[in-house]
Amino acid sequence: MTEETKAAGAGKSARRAPTKKEKTAAAERSAKPLETENPTSKAETGREITPEERWKMIGEAAYYLAEKRGFSGGHPAEDWRMAEAEIDAMLAKKRS
């Protein structure tokens, strides 16, 4: 390999195209409804939700809020606050 060839490829990263299986998995993830829309959510099982589960639920809901607007505009902290309020309201409703 010449020095010229090495220099030409130095800034490039080897990136492969996603496989059909990876594309299918990504499509399934993006089609997943928000936790608040899932009638079989953990909150409905009658057991207490741990802080870690609550945190994960909020993170997932915030992701789907950002996805819903096409990941443009908005702010991650605002998505988190909105998701937190939504999840906390859902959990409070399930407790009562």
In angstroms, rounded to a whole number, what is the distance separating the alpha carbons of residues 78 and 58? 12
Task: Say yes or no to pLDDT of 51 above 80.
Answer: yes
pLDDT score of 24: 58
In angstroms, rounded to a whole number, what is the distance separating the alpha carbons of residues 74 and 63? 12
Higher-confidence position of 96 and 52 = 52
% of residues, the chain, pLDDT over 70: 53
Average pLDDT score, the chain: 75
26 burial (CB, 10 Å; 0-12 / 13-18 / 19+) is exposed
Buried b (16+ CB within 10 A) or exposed e, 51-80: eeebeebbeebbbbbbeeeeeeeeeeeebb
Of the pLDDT bands very low, low, confident and very high (cuts 50, 70, 90), residue 73 is: confident
